[in-house]
Amino acid sequence: MKRLNLLILLLAGLFIFSCAKKEIPTGIEEEAPPPPAVKEEPHPAVIPSEEAQLPPEESAKPSEPPLFEEVGLEPQSPEWIDAHREELLIYGRSTRPFKAIFFDFDSYYIREDMKSRLQENARFLLENPEIKVELQGNCDERGSSEYNLALGERRALAVKRYLVNLGISPDRLITVSFGEERPLDPRHNEEAWALNRRVDFVIIKNNSNIKTD
């Protein structure tokens, strides 16, 4: 039994001695150096365009529709008026193709011979729903200025009512009276007065790109 214990002790001593002879690492392997840092170039400043600098509502703002100037306001010689009387008796100062509506003395009732013109004007308005017109009432020089301003307004309103009955929206019709202040013919006779008692159709807004004469 003693021999067995001695043998075990010898074997244990040999094992320890052999392990002590093994190479023990003396240190930790060095880590590879990190790659050199690459210096980033600064990005060039981006300058926005003028349109990009505008607020969205301004950059997308539609252009205003064109306004039409009134025609034929400059004074004309009697010779010019006589040479163009037939044309003036059709259009007055209206924006073509609209035709002027003429009235009897001291009256704002629509004459029978003017109803076909009103129907033509209404047809053009129905075919071009983006057009708005100003109905300009005019009178001859007889009567006071105050009376003629009121009479010109009644004439413009009578034309507006007629057009509304034909299906034109009242929002597209603006009425104004100039009384006796803007005569087509400044002379003082019946021919001149007949030209001056009228309602003109003047386009004030047109979004439909309709060409007018």
> b vs e for 169-179, b when ≥16 Cβ sit within 10 Å of the residue's Cβ?
eeebbbbebbb
DSSP labels, 140-159? -S-S-HHHHHHHHHHHHHHH
> Domains of the chain, with CATH numbers?
92-206 (3.30.1330.60)
pLDDT at site 76: 81
pLDDT band with cut points at 50, 70 and 90 for residue 119: very high
pLDDT at site 112: 97
Closest CA to 154 of 188, 211, 106: 106
Closest CA to 99 of 153, 23, 178, 163: 163
Radius of gyration of the chain (CA): 48
pLDDT at site 133: 98
pLDDT per position as a tens digit, 54-95: 334 333 333 333 334 455 566 788 899 999 999 999 999 999
Q: Which amino acid is at 69?
A: E
Cβ atoms of 156 and 175 closer than 8 Å: yes
Q: Mean pLDDT for the chain?
A: 77
Q: What is this structure's pTM?
A: 0.65
Closest CA to 93 of 74, 121, 109: 74
Comparing 13-27, 106-120, 159-173, the range with the smallest average pLDDT is: 13-27
Answer yes or no: is pLDDT of 53 > 70.
no
pLDDT at site 52: 32
The span from the CA of 159 to the CA of 94, in Å, is: 14
pLDDT at site 160: 98
pLDDT: which is higher, 169 or 31:
169
For the segment 196-210, the average pLDDT, to the nearest whole number, is: 83
Cβ atoms of 93 and 100 closer than 8 Å: yes
pLDDT per position as a tens digit, 6-16: 666 666 655 55
pLDDT at site 40: 44
The span from the CA of 78 to the CA of 55, in Å, is: 56
pLDDT band with cut points at 50, 70 and 90 for residue 27: very low
Closest CA to 160 of 144, 145, 177, 143: 177
pLDDT per position as a tens digit, 141-164: 999 999 999 999 999 999 999 999
Distance, C-alpha 98 to centroid of its chain: 24
The residues, any chain, with a CB within 8 Å of residue 185's CB and separated by 6 or more, are 78, 81, 88, 191, 192, 195, 196
pLDDT band with cut points at 50, 70 and 90 for residue 136: very high
